[in-house]
Amino acid sequence: MWRLLTRLDAALISTVLAGWLRSRAQPQAVRPRRYRTVIAVDGKTLRGARLGDGRQVHLLSALDTSTGIVLAQVTVDTKSNEIPAFTPLLDAVERVLGSLDGVLFVADALHTQTSHAEQITARGAHLFLQAKGNQPTLFTQLKTLPWAQVPVGDRTRDRGHGRTETRTVKAVTLHTPGGIAFPHAQQAVRITRTRTTGGKTSRETAYLITSLPAADAQPTDLQHWARVEWLIENQVHNVRDVTFREDQHQARTGTGPAVMATLRNTAIGWHRINGETSIARANRRADRRSDDLIQAVTSSYPNMQ
């Protein structure tokens, strides 16, 4: 079985299994007025899959944050980084969804690249990206905006695990002659996180841009989208590490590491679309009731593609 898995096309099997999961997912009966499909993009290193020259396998994935399904996953060239892998990932997501029209992509500052923005918008999609030191001109422009004059658009407060966190969102559309120093950016966003733990208070400020105008991206939406970016880390990558012990898996032959990661993504996605909140508990139940899984895989569904 392992020899078979190591010879499979990792990108193809990711596309096929993502399509299969989407065919099983129940469509949402009622969607909010400004409902939008949000795709979170993030990379993960398979620490146990170390190649002969010492380098590790690194995968870039795209998660549909509304369903918990990993729509696409590509292997990053060991001599490169995530940036060149973004285009193949975008192509793979488009193959699964059929169209990227209206889809919103959220990612960390590494993917705040002008080439990424051009590709995303050319396909009718939108972006919501953070600005850091890799885009110094953009970062400086966002940081020096007159934020004190911009009213607070949304504020949330969370308590738990002995800490209190307040998140404040401000957003503004620039009308300067040059606009925002990033292609297709419509709004500048500042999110301030104030966290109090054990009597100590810390503050963190993030600057972001989005290609959506204010009419389509209210501060409450921006608050939500900024938080769902972390779902791919919390609900997929962390689960693969803790529940499936992925980093302890030392197999490195052929496409084996990427294929095994796809199978783990599929297991997680299957449990998510069935309403499971604890993947570990769902796995234990599946171990005891393997006939249910066989029936689920082999049975036909009205919405089967």
Band the pLDDT of 16: cuts 50, 70, 90: very high
pLDDT of residue 102: 93
pLDDT level of residue 304 (50, 70, 90 thresholds): very low
Secondary structure (H, E, C), the chain:
CHHHHCCCCHHHHHHHHHHHHHHHCCCCCCCCCCCCCEEEEEEEEEEEEECCCCCEEEEEEEEECCCCEEEEEEEECCCCCHHHHHHHHHHHHHHHHCCCCCCEEEECHHHCCHHHHHHHHHCCCEEEEEECCCCHHHHHHHHCCCHHHCCCCEEEEEEECCEEEEEEEEEECCCCCCCCCCCCCCEEEEEEEEEEECCEEEEEEEEEEECCCCCCCCHHHHHHHHHHCCHHHHHHHHHHHHCCCHHHCCCCCCCHHHHHHHHHHHHHHHHHHCCCCCHHHHHHHHHHCHHHHHHHHHCCCCCCC
Closest CA to 267 of 291, 229, 235: 235
Reported as a pLDDT band with limits 50, 70 and 90, residue 271 is very high
pLDDT of residue 259: 93
Confidence band, pLDDT 50/70/90 cuts, at residue 295: confident
The mean predicted confidence, pLDDT, of the chain is 89
Tell me: pLDDT of 227 over 80. yes
* Paired tokens of 148: 């004190």
pLDDT in tens, 105-159: 999 999 999 999 999 999 999 999 999 988 899 999 999 999 999 999 999 998 8
The CATH architecture to which 33-241 belongs is: Alpha-Beta Complex (3.90)
pTM of the model: 0.90
State what percent of residues in the chain have pLDDT above 90.
Answer: 66
Give CA–CA dist 207/190, Å, rounded: 5
Residue 220 has pLDDT above 80, yes or no: yes
- Please report which confidence band the pLDDT of residue 254 belongs to, taking 50, 70 and 90 as the band edges: confident
Residue 166: how many other CB atoms lie within 10 Å: 15
Closest by alpha carbon to 184, among 131, 142, 141, 126? 126
Predicted local distance difference test score (pLDDT) of residue 151: 93
Q: For 276-288, what is each residue's pLDDT tens digit?
A: 989 999 999 888 8
* Whole-number Cα distances in Å, 141 to 35, 85, 178, 208: 30, 28, 11, 11
Of 194-203, 208-217, 293-302, the range with the highest mean pLDDT is: 208-217
Q: What is the mean pLDDT of residues 247-259?
A: 86
* Percentage of residues of the chain with pLDDT beyond 70: 93
Residue 144 contacts residue 171 (beta carbons within 8 Å): no
Confidence at 305, pLDDT banded by 50, 70, 90 = very low
Q: How far apart are the first and last CA of the chain?
A: 27
What is the rounded CA–CA span in Å between residue 163 and residue 25? 36
Pairwise CA distance, residues 225 & 93, whole Å: 19
Domain ranges of the chain: 33-241
